[in-house]
Structure 1
Amino acid sequence: MAVAEATSQGAGPKVSSLTGLDMSHIKLCPAIAFNQIIGGRYKLHILCVLNRGASRYGEIGRSLLHGGLGRPIAPRILSRELRQLEERGLISGAVLSVVPRRVEYRLTERGRAMLPILAEIIRWGASGAHEEMMIRTKG
């Protein structure tokens, strides 16, 4: 995180040079915290899927197949990503009263608060810059 000045106790920056915001009350860099909260291969995509409305496990998995690199997500990994998003309060799962048991996931208020960040990432990606970077790292 870009900072203009550190506090005299070395506890952290006073003002972010990136945003100009007072950061003296922050203990953990927000960029590091964001990465720890949303880090993982599929979490951002899951939030994008749920932006369209509530979805069941299988629908989310199929969406990841089509929106990713064409490889299916392992059920164990999808379950883990959904569980972590639930634990962090970004999504909620409601068990539907059907047999077999099905869970419908939706964004929480906290999850909806992430949508402007996702929108900016998608705007950046619309330029195609990410594809050029991905090609360079494969070679």
Structure 2
Amino acid sequence: MAGGRAPEIKNKKAFYDYDILERYEAGIELKGTEVKSLREGKANLRDSFVRIENGEAFLFNAYIAPYTHGNLFNHEPTRKRRLLLHKREIKRLAGKVAEKGLTIVPLRIYFNERGKAKVEIALVKGRKKYDKREAIKRRELEREAQKAMKFYR
């Protein structure tokens, strides 16, 4: 933790695999060893997703490494974790997921200015293979254009 700031854990694959439609900020219910492990930056959001069960949102498959100094009371690395959202947000998300076949994925886990762990989740639509290829081409063209602009300044 350089400079006393907790690291931000990002789900980079989500930006490649999905088109992001809406973003939400949610609190996350964690155990003490999970918070300590997150502050060390030892987490991974790849292949994780959010599911709504019984009117509550849960984060599945998010890997938070066991805390190195935690012993008997250490947590399970990929347990389901409850997300703290308002009821109206949960109902809205549940409706959109059921109606349009959309998915909810976490984009990043970070600590806000008050030191609370937050998860940025997004309502997303899966991309087809050709969409992914198109995104790569577009990105490379933009990079080449930036290089050309830099060269001619």
Report the TM range for the smaller structure's normalisation: under 0.3
TM-score by length of 1: 0.26
**Higher-strand-fraction structure:** 2
Higher relative contact order (CA 8 A, sep 6+): 2
TM-score by length of 2: 0.24
